[in-house]
A = this chain, B = another copy of it.
């Protein structure tokens, strides 16, 4: 019998999860839950239901794992603890600073309900975290570097769109190649924010807007742009749609460390991602961890878990013997 999956929230991430389920033969999408009128939500999977989120409790025994595809700012802090009372859940909560609090909330409610909740699944947090952790355990003497990009930052694009006179905008975060190279040489540099990433903005102006004023507002925006070398390009809406409608992303996690009785040998561990679609890749990671949630729950485990707590084999459709024979 396949693992019965529910999706709660049908935006970019929800659609990505739907696509990822299609690639995993041991899983089945049974229902999508939405806050909108279900009649107005059209999904790709012919065999799955579209339901209003108010009716989610009716599905308690018909769904093995509910994948929560809401946002980290306001949705997930409430939703994950709430739905962990009814289902095994997986989320992609990505507000790094609030993970301990979120973990505690999900843990309490999942334990009480006898469910498994896996939080902060994706690539950062997620695969990048795993690679930081493995590399730190292997090379205790060393230094970590994370670079993001080249990719679209949704938050930064939104910040530009809020400026008066801006009709539309897309922002790319770009790692500085020379900084990457210094890190790869094992020189363990101390890098400032400005030295690690640049920001490139493609902006469509409202008619009659003052380009110089907009550019200045972007470049001096605290937190978002002021600490970076930022380039602003003004383009037409057609050009934005034609060349900048994708959601690519990626990045690099590097640990540079030493071994030897006198720390005489250098080592470099590098993990990198180059992604055409940030939400689809995130979804693919989430779906692999949904399999783990199902299996852990079958074993009788309960409570909140992160990628650190889950043995890799739980993610794979293959069993232990097959994994050892083909991938070890």
Which residues of A line the B interface, CB within 8 A? 16, 18-20, 22-24, 44, 96, 99-100, 103, 120, 125, 127, 129-134, 136-141, 184, 259-261, 265-277, 280-281, 283-285, 288, 291, 306-313, 315-317, 320-321, 323-325, 327-328
Contact = CB atoms under 8 A, between A and B. Distances in A.
A250 B215 CA distance: 45
Nearest to A284: B138
A260 B288 contact: no
B316 A136 contact: yes
A261 B141 contact: no
B325 A99 contact: yes
B267 A270 contact: no
B271 A270 contact: yes
Closest 7 CB pairs of A and B: A265-B276, A137-B315, A259-B280, A308-B313, A268-B274, A265-B277, A137-B288
A302 to B, nearest CB: 15
Contacts of A129: 327-328
A308 B320 CA distance: 8
Contacts of A328: 96, 99, 120, 125, 129, 306-308
Contacts of A320: 308-309
A306 B283 CA distance: 27
B274 A272 contact: no
6 contacts: A129-B327, A138-B284, A138-B315, A259-B284, A267-B284, A270-B270
Contacts of A270: 270-274
Contacts of A275: 265, 267-268
B277 A306 contact: no
Interface centre among A134, A137, A268 (most CB of B within 10 A): A137
Given A19-B259, A259-B280, A312-B312, 16 more contacts: A120-B328, A133-B312, A133-B323, A134-B312, A134-B315, A136-B327, A137-B317, A138-B288, A139-B284, A267-B284, A270-B272, A271-B271, A308-B313, A308-B316, A308-B320, A308-B328
Given A139-B284, A259-B277, A133 B316 contact: yes
A120 to B, nearest CB: 6
Nearest to A321: B100
Contacts of A323: 133, 306, 308
B324 A261 contact: no
Contacts of A260: 19, 277, 280
B267 A137 contact: no
Contact of A140 (B24, B99, B138, B277): B24
B325 A100 contact: yes
Contact of A130 (B140, B288, B312): B312
Contacts of A291: 137
Given A136-B327, A273-B269, A259 B20 contact: yes
A23 B267 contact: no
Contacts of A327: 129, 132-133, 136, 308
Nearest to A246: B265
A310 B132 CA distance: 17
Contacts of A138: 127, 281, 284-285, 288, 315
